[in-house]
Amino acid sequence: MVQVTPFLLVLLLALGAHGLSVKKKCSLPGRWVNDLGSNMTITTVNGNGVFVGSYHTAVTATSNEIQLSPLQGSLQKSPNQKSQPTFGFTVNWSFSDSITVFTGQCFVDEYGKEVLRTMWLLRSHVENIKNDWKATRVGTNVFTRLQSQE
């Protein structure tokens, strides 16, 4: 009995140290909401990092009625990115003639919450090359996982 106690102590310390060293992974599949109130669902990520999903934007640069739109993307799979990978995706808007490309990184923040920090380029269609200068908007979005997903 006298020898069991130090053994348990060492075991508990080892387990505790292991728990501290396990880094939480940020993964893309699931439902996300951004700072504009837009919703995004990433359904599948295949073995090559290729993923698909859908995007419901809360805002539009057009006067068209907003519709759910498809997205296609790619997740960087290199070993040194495994816990907080970079990614990119394209949304092909179903209700306008525009395209948005997003690029970003999937982080685990200081509270253990997953967050997607992104930048985007929204390309609108213009009638002629003289209007090209005003065809591209740029911005950032921060996505957090929808609460019911945690």
Spatial distance between the Cα atoms of 42 and 25, rounded to a whole number of angstroms: 16
C-alpha closest to that of 122 among 141, 103, 100, 140: 100
**Tokens, residue 34:** 């951004």
Out of 120, 126, 142, 144, the only residue in the binding site for ligand BTN (CB under 6 A) is 120
Q: What are the two backbone dihedrals, phi and then psi, of residue 3, each rounded to the nearest 5 degrees? A: -85, -20
By CB under 6 A, which span of 10-18, 19-27, 93-101, 109-117 interacts with ligand BTN? 93-101
Based on CB atoms, which residue is closest to ligand BTN, 29 or 139? 139
Chain positions 19 to 78 lying near ligand BTN, rule: CB under 6 A, are 34, 36, 38, 57, 59-62
Non-local (6+) Cβ contacts of 108 within 8 A are 23, 24, 25, 26, 83, 84, 114, 115
Instruction: Report DSSP letters for 11-26, one per residue.
Output: HHHHHHHHHHHPPPPP
Chain positions 99 to 118 lying near ligand BTN, rule: CB under 6 A, are 100
At closest approach, how far in Å is the CB of 4 from ligand BTN? 58
At closest approach, how far in Å is the CB of 136 from ligand BTN? 11
Q: Which residue ranges make up the site for ligand BTN (CB under 6 A)? A: 34, 36, 38, 57, 59-62, 93, 96, 98, 100, 120, 122, 139, 141
